[in-house]
Chain A
Amino acid sequence: MAVSSPPRSGAPERARRAPGLGARRLALLGPALTWWLVLLVAPVLLILAYSIFRRGIYGGVVYDATFDNFDRLFDPLYLRVVWFSVRVALITTVLALLIGYPVAWFIATRPARWRTALLVLIVLPFWTSMLIRTYAWMALLNDEGLINNWLESIGLIDRPLKLLYNEFAIVLGLLYTYLPLMVLPLYAAIERLPRELREASHDLGAGAVRSFLTVVLPLTRTGVAAGCLFVFVPALGNFIVPELLGGGRRQMVGNLIQVQFLEARDWPFGATLALAVMVLMGIFLFAQAKLAGKDRVEA
C-alpha cells in the first residue's frame, strides 16, 4: 500500500498472496465489521448529524443546520454539570485504584488454583442487574436501612447518619459498580510481572516502598492506565447512580443527556452533549494510548 516505504523482507510474498487472503479475511472479519459499522460507526455519525440540527416544536428533528447547540453547550449551567461529573468520576477512579491495586496484587500472588476462583468472585456482581444492585444499596444506606439500624442498635449513634442522597452515595455507588473493571487489568499487568525483577530489586537493596515505586509500579503502568480508563469513562456517563443513590439532587452529564432524549425531546441538544462527552473521553483514550504505546517501545 505505502508505495514509498522501503521494501522489507517478506513483503513481496505477502503481496502475492493478498487476493486470496483478502476474500477470506473479509469473510472472517465480516461479522465483526458489520457489528462495528452498524452499532458504532452509524450511531456516531447519527449523533454528529443530529448535533447540527434543531428540535421541532413537537420534538423530532428539523433539518436546518445551526451551531446553536454548541453555543448552548458552553452555558455555565451545563459546564457546571460537566465539571461535577468529571470531579465525581475522578474521585471514583482514584479510590478504585487505591482499593483495586492491593486486591489485584493479592489475587495475582495467590497460587494458580486460587486465582481463578478469586477472579470469579470479583466478576460475580456483574451477573446481577446493575439496577437491582443499586436498589440494594438504597436498602442498605437509607435512614431506616440496615447500616443505620445496626449502628443505632449497638448504641454507636443516636440519630441516623446521612449516607444516602448525597455525593458520598454517588461516589460509593460508582466505586462499587466499576471496581472490578479496575481490578481485572491490574491483575493482568501484575501477573505478567516476573517475580525475579522484584527479587532482584530487593537483592540490590531496595526496600519494599522503593521497590514498588521504581520497579513494580512503572512496569504495571499499562494496567493502571487501562484500569483508570475503564472506571473513569463509564463513571462519567452513568446516570442511574446519581438518580437513585444521589436522590436526583445532583445531575451528572449522563442525566443531562437522558433528560434531553427522554423528557425534553430535544434530540439535537442531547446529541451535542453526547458528542462533547465522546470528545472528552477521546482525549483520555488518546492519553492512555500514548502511555501504553510508550511502554511497548520500552519493553
Chain B
Amino acid sequence: MRGTWIKLAVAATLALGVSACGAEVQKSGSTSSTGAATSADAAPDTGTPRGGTLTISNWDKYMPENLIPDFERETGIKVKVAKHATNEDIMGKLEAAQGGGYDLVFVSAPFAESLARRGWAAEIDPAKVPNLRNLAPEARELAYDPGNRHSVPYTWGTTGLCYRSDLVRGTPDSWNDLLRPSDDLKGRVTMLGTDRWLLLPALKTLGYSANTTDEGELNEARDLLLDTKKDLLAYDDTTFYDKLVSGEASLVEAWDGWCNYGIAEDRRIRFVVPREGSDLWVDTMVVLDRSENKDAAMQFIDFVLDPANGRGVVDLLSYKVPNQAAMDGLDPRLVRQFPNLGMTPQELLRGENLQDLGEGQPYWSRIVSEITS
C-alpha cells in the first residue's frame, strides 16, 4: 500500500526476472540465544547489547523515526532494520532463507496468514506482550488470525471514495458513483490498479465477496470494469490524491490513509466509505518461528503497542491503528482535520477482511490483464 515509488524502483530490477535471492541481512552472531532483556533500568547502552540483537524488516518510512532508538535505549536490545519495498519482496527473502534471516517482519494480513499456514510464524505469547490489552477487542478477533495467535495488527483501514466536494455534486455514497460516473465526472475519475482494489468496487457493487475466487463472479466484475474503463481518467496507485489537489480528477478510489494526504493539502477533499461495503486491510507484525530472539521480538511488539508509540504511528502516517489506547489519546484537532481517523473499530469491521486468494490468484491476475490490456 505504501512505498509505491520504491515498489516501482525495485520492480525495475525484478522486471527482467532478476529475482532477488537470499536474505541480505544476516543476524550478526547468535551469541546470546536467550535474548530476554528483562531489566529495563540498567546502565547506558554502551558496549555489547544486554538484550541481544533483533533483526526487523519493515516498509521504508513506515514507523516513526524515534521508535527504534527509543526501544534500544529502553531495553538494551540492539535492532537492525532492513527494508522491503513490497510484501512480495520480503516473502521472497523469507522463501530463499526458508523462513530464517529475520526475527520479526511487517507484512499485510494475507501474507501473515500465509506465513502462519506455512508454519513460519511463531506463536505470540500473550504473557510477554501485556500491551495486547491496548488493542481494540475487534482487532483481537480478525478473520485471518483470530486471537492474534501468529500476528499482531499494526495499522488498519479501509478503501473508499476520495473526492473534491466542490467538484462533485451532492455526496457520493455508492461505488456506482465511481463505476458509472455521471456525465460531469466522465474522464475525471481514477481507480486503484492493484488487483485486490481494482476488483473491489465491482465485486461489492455486484454483492460478491472481495475474496471470491468464483470465475463467474470474477467475469461479471470484469465486464463491469471494462465498461467503467471508458469513463476512467487512469488507473493510479500513487498519485491519485495529487490529481484531486490539481483538479485533474474529481473523484478517485483511495485508501483512507492516502486520502488524508490529499486532505492535508486541500480541505475541500473528503473521504467516504460506499454503502455497498468495502474492505478491511490490516498490516501486521509477525515473529518468525526460526528466530532465536523471540522474547526480544515480543518485547518489541509490546513496545509498539504502547499508547504513546501508537500515537506516533498515527502522527507519521495518518493511518488508523488498532491500538485503541493510542486512538483514544489522539489530539482532537488531528481527528477534526482527518475525519476518517475517527472511524470506530465497529465501523471498520463492516469492511471485509482481505484474505489470501490461494489457488484463485492466477485467475485473478488473468482477469486483471483482461481489464488492463
Contact = CB atoms under 8 A, between A and B. Distances in A.
Given A58-B114, A59-B91, A263-B88, A247 B235 contact: yes
A240 B356 CA distance: 27
A143 B19 contact: no
Residue with the greatest number of chain A CB neighbours at <10 A, chosen from B17, B232, B359: B17
A262 B369 contact: no
A165 B14 CA distance: 24
Contacts of B247: 144
A142 B229 CA distance: 18
Contacts of B237: 248
A243 B234 CA distance: 9
B8 interface: yes
Interface in B236-258: 236-239, 243, 246-248
B365 A259 contact: yes
Contact of B19 (A58, A81, A267): A267
A143 B242 CA distance: 13
Nearest to B198: A248
A219 B88 CA distance: 49
B214 interface: no
A164 to B, nearest CB: 8
B286 to A, nearest CB: 14
Contact of B86 (A78, A243, A262, A274): A262
A293 interface: no
A274 B17 contact: yes
B149 interface: no
B69 interface: no
Given A46-B21, A239-B15, A251-B372, A264 B362 contact: yes
A81 B193 contact: no
A47 B18 CA distance: 8
Residue with the greatest number of chain A CB neighbours at <10 A, chosen from B235, B365, B372: B372
Interface string B105-136: 00000000010011000000000000000000
A264 B15 CA distance: 14
A249 B356 CA distance: 26
A81 B14 contact: no
A262 B232 contact: no
Interface in A55-109: 55, 57-61, 77-78, 80-81, 84
B364 A77 contact: no
A77 B366 contact: yes
B248 A46 contact: no
Contacts, number: 134
Nearest to B113: A58
B18 A43 contact: yes
A261 B86 CA distance: 11
A118 B123 CA distance: 63
Interface string B176-211: 000000000000001001110000000000000000
What interface size band does chain A fall in? 35 or more
Contact of A131 (B5, B17, B19, B86): B5
B19 A251 contact: no
Contact of A271 (B17, B89, B359): B17
Residue with the greatest number of chain A CB neighbours at <10 A, chosen from B11, B195, B358: B11
A239 B7 CA distance: 12
Contacts of B234: 164-165, 247-249
Contacts of A77: 366, 369-370, 373
A254 B369 contact: no
A293 B361 CA distance: 47
B25 interface: no
Interface string B343-373: 0000000000000101101101110111011
B16 A237 contact: yes
A229 to B, nearest CB: 16
A165 B372 CA distance: 12
B11 A258 contact: yes
A58 B361 CA distance: 9
Contact of B195 (A144, A250, A264): A264
A255 B373 CA distance: 10
B19 A46 contact: yes
A263 B362 contact: no
Contacts of A164: 234
Given A243-B193, A249-B229, A249-B235, A57 B15 contact: no
B239 A138 contact: yes
Given A46-B19, A143-B248, A58 B118 contact: yes
Contacts of A39: 18
B14 A262 contact: yes
Given A263-B195, A269-B362, A274 B232 contact: no
B256 to A, nearest CB: 21
Contacts of B362: 55, 264, 266, 269
Given A249-B232, A261-B88, A266 B369 contact: no
A73 to B, nearest CB: 13
Contacts of B370: 77
A270 interface: yes
Residue with the greatest number of chain A CB neighbours at <10 A, chosen from B7, B14, B15, B366: B15
Contact of A81 (B95, B246, B373): B373
A60 B17 CA distance: 14
Nearest to A82: B373
A260 interface: yes
Interface string B80-99: 00000010110100010000
20 contacts: A58-B118, A58-B358, A59-B114, A61-B95, A131-B8, A131-B9, A239-B15, A244-B238, A248-B235, A248-B237, A250-B372, A259-B195, A259-B369, A261-B11, A264-B365, A266-B361, A267-B19, A269-B362, A270-B17, A275-B17
Given A77-B366, A261-B19, A266-B361, 4 more contacts: A81-B369, A237-B15, A239-B11, A257-B16
Interface of B: 5, 7-9, 11-12, 14-19, 21, 86, 88-89, 91, 95, 114, 117-118, 190, 193-195, 229, 232-239, 243, 246-248, 356, 358-359, 361-362, 364-366, 368-370, 372-373
**Shortest beta-carbon contacts, A-B, top 5:** A247-B234, A274-B17, A248-B235, A264-B365, A58-B114
